[in-house]
Amino acid sequence: MFTVKAAPFDYSFPPDKVALIVIDMQRDFVEPGGFGETLGNDVSLLTPVIPVVADLIALFRKNNWPVIHTRENHAPDLSDCPPAKRDRGNPALRIGDDGPMGRILIRGEPGADIIDALKPLPGEYVVDKPGKGAFYATDLSSILKDLDVTHLVFAGVTTEVCVQTTMREANDRGFTNLLIADATGSYFPAFKEATIAMIAAQGAIVGWVAPLSALAEAVSGGKSDG
């Protein structure tokens, strides 16, 4: 077991039962001209998490632990996009409209792809999801069953939307979750902080939270108890 100094108390995981889930590190959320910006957000707020997510992925690759990337996107014919989602609010461009990185949030378009700095390697999993949660209408459950993992480490964007939704879905499915605080970001810093607090509250009601440095220290041997 490895034991990570975390909130609200230490998080222990068996190294043969852990996987990393990197949520939606797509151009549509972190670059200008994509879905996130059309919703009125300042996408530059997400930039600082990119190098931390890169280091977290590198840690998992070095240990040969599974890495799963997700992408929020929709089929070109929008058959998996509920009108209630597309018609919501008053965005500059709607899902499926033409934008500077191709059609907004459409599978296969440049904007819907994962950013170059965090490109999946061959053999890593890429889960396309139409919802905010990565378990809804995807094969994530069967991937995790095949991998035989029990512990999930989370990173990505945005903390209170797709990351938190997926962590709650995972929690209800019996997984033991760790969120890497500096590897997740929000367009609303106060929402990120609130999400971190509510995940760890009530004795880790949704999961644990720790910085990447704490996970790295545990894995490097300092906190391992065999």
CB burial class (10 A; 0-12, 13-18, 19+) of residue 46?
buried
Is 183 a binder of ligand TIU (CB under 6 A)?
no
- Which residue in 81, 128, 132, 162 is the catalytic one? 162
Contact 13, 206 (CB under 8 A): no
Tell me if 122 sits within 8 A of 67, measured CB to CB.
Answer: no
Catalytic option among 28, 113, 128, 129? 129
Q: Give catalytic status of residue 129 as yes or no.
A: yes
Determine, following the binding rule CB under 6 A, whether residue 161 of this chain makes contact with ligand TIU: yes
In whole angstroms, what is the distance from residue 161 CA to residue 212 CA? 21
37 binds ligand TIU (CB under 6 A): no
Q: Is 59 in the site for ligand TIU (CB under 6 A)?
A: no
- When binding is defined by CB under 6 A, the residue of 72, 113, 128, 169 that contacts ligand TIU is 72
Q: Which two tokens stand for residue 62?
A: 């070095």
Closest contact distance (angstroms) between CB of 114 and ligand TIU is 12
Distance of closest approach, residue 54 Cβ to ligand TIU, in angstroms: 18
Residue from 7, 12, 24, 212 binding ligand TIU (CB under 6 A): 24
Specify whether the CB–CB gap between 103 and 109 falls below 8 A: yes
Contact 39, 91 (CB under 8 A): yes
Give the residue nearest to ligand TIU (CB). 162
* Complex with ligand TIU: residue 11 or 187, whichever CB lies closer: 187
User: Dihedral through CA 38, CA 41, CA 46, CA 47, nearest 10?
Assistant: 70
Q: d(Cα 78, Cα 60) in Å, to the nearest integer? A: 34
Binding region for ligand TIU (CB under 6 A) out of 3-11, 142-150, 156-164, 211-219 = 156-164
Q: Are 156 and 184 in contact (CB under 8 A)?
A: yes
Q: Which of 4, 59, 95, 157 binds ligand TIU (CB under 6 A)?
A: 157
Euclidean distance between CA atoms 121 and 67, whole angstroms: 9
Residues of this chain that interact with ligand TIU (CB under 6 A) are 24, 29, 36, 39, 72, 132, 157-158, 161-162, 187
Catalytic residue annotation: 24, 129, 162
